[in-house]
Amino acid sequence: MQAVSNLPRRDFWTITGSLGGITILSWIYLLLMARDMSHPESLCMAAMRLQDWDAGYFGMMFAMWTIMMVGMMVPSAAPMILIYAAVARKAQHQGTPIAPAGAFTAGYIFMWTVFSLCATLAQWLLDKAALLSPMMVANSPKFGAALLMAAGVYQWLPVKDNCLRHCRSPFHFISSHWRPGNAGAFRMGIKHGAFCIGCCWILMLLLFVGGVMNILWIAAITIFVLLEKVMPLGNQGGKISGILMFITGALMLFK
């Protein structure tokens, strides 16, 4: 993190404050929505009970997924964004024009917005197949078990290791995927977001196991993703967790 330490204090606090503000606002939204869902007479719960997938309901679910992904994934992207900002500042001092960190962050969030659209479509399909309860939890133990076992297997696949390596090595990512200008920074953000999705997409689907609006479950997955990316033993820990996920799923499947 030597590069981040060289970042001017004003830039550091501006970026961390912006990322922290986005994250806090996202979690406030999730907490308020979870609270509304706990009240049987709320408009949110009325919509859940009706489960009428019109444009308004789809839009509400898409917004929920998008805000949730921002709240869950922006913290784990903060080290990459700060290092990008430090590199940008150094290049600027050397007379090289470079895009601000906001363009990179926008590309990253754009990719998770695309994922949120896919997650909303998946929720719609699962709902039509009667595999989800009104509280957006898998109502089939076999379906939940299959998701856990699949997530456990994915933790051991080479594609997971490759994506995680890019997410855990900011300097390698920036040097390998460098693009100049605002459009280039946006594309870099998209690529980094794609690698993060490659790491975490199936972990996000586990929200259907513990509850899409279960705040404790959301927080647990968020912490797991963050530790897997930043801890020195994150790779080994991920494989151990994969074994535990698979065993838990198998026990659910055959009990």
CB atoms within 10 A of CB 90: 14
Residue 6 is predicted with a pLDDT of 65
pLDDT band at 52 (very low <50, low <70, confident <90, very high): confident
CB atoms within 10 A of CB 134: 14
Cα 180 from Cα 83, distance rounded (Å): 16
Q: Which residues contact 220 (CB under 8 A, 6 or more apart)?
A: 210
111 touches 193 (CB < 8 A)? yes
Q: Residue 171, class by beta-carbon neighbours within 10 Å (0-12 exposed, 13-18 middle, 19+ buried)?
A: exposed
Residue 1: pLDDT over 60: no
Mean pLDDT of 203-217: 92
Mean pLDDT of 90-103: 67
pTM (whole model) above 0.85: yes
Token pair in block for residue 96: 């090289």
pLDDT tens per residue across span 131-152: 888 778 888 889 999 999 999 9
Would you kindly state where each structural domain of the chain is located, as residue ranges?
2-254
pLDDT band at 98 (very low <50, low <70, confident <90, very high): low
Average pLDDT of the chain is: 86
pLDDT band at 169 (very low <50, low <70, confident <90, very high): confident
Q: Spell 93-131 as b/e; 16+ CB within 10 A means b.
A: eeeeebbbbbbbbbbbbebbebbbeebbeebbebbeeeb
Instruction: State the sign of the Cα–Cα–Cα–Cα dihedral 130, 119, 19, 76.
Output: positive
Gyration radius of the chain's alpha carbons: 19
Partnered with residue 132 across adjacent β-strands are 138
Q: Spell 215-242 as b/e; 16+ CB within 10 A means b.
A: eebbeebbebbbebbeeeebbeebeebb
Residue 49: pLDDT over 90: no
Instruction: Name the residue with tokens 């399909």.
Output: 125
78 touches 102 (CB < 8 A)? no
Cα 120 from Cα 127, distance rounded (Å): 10
Residue 94: pLDDT over 60: no
Residue 93 is predicted with a pLDDT of 57
Residue 68: pLDDT over 90: yes
Residue 9 is predicted with a pLDDT of 82
pLDDT band at 187 (very low <50, low <70, confident <90, very high): very high
Cα 111 from Cα 105, distance rounded (Å): 10
pLDDT band at 223 (very low <50, low <70, confident <90, very high): very high
E strand or H helix that includes residue 80: helix 55-93
pLDDT tens per residue across span 150-166: 999 999 999 999 999 88
Residue 64 is predicted with a pLDDT of 95
pLDDT tens per residue across span 70-85: 999 999 999 999 988 8
* 138 closest CA partner among 201, 207, 222, 204: 207
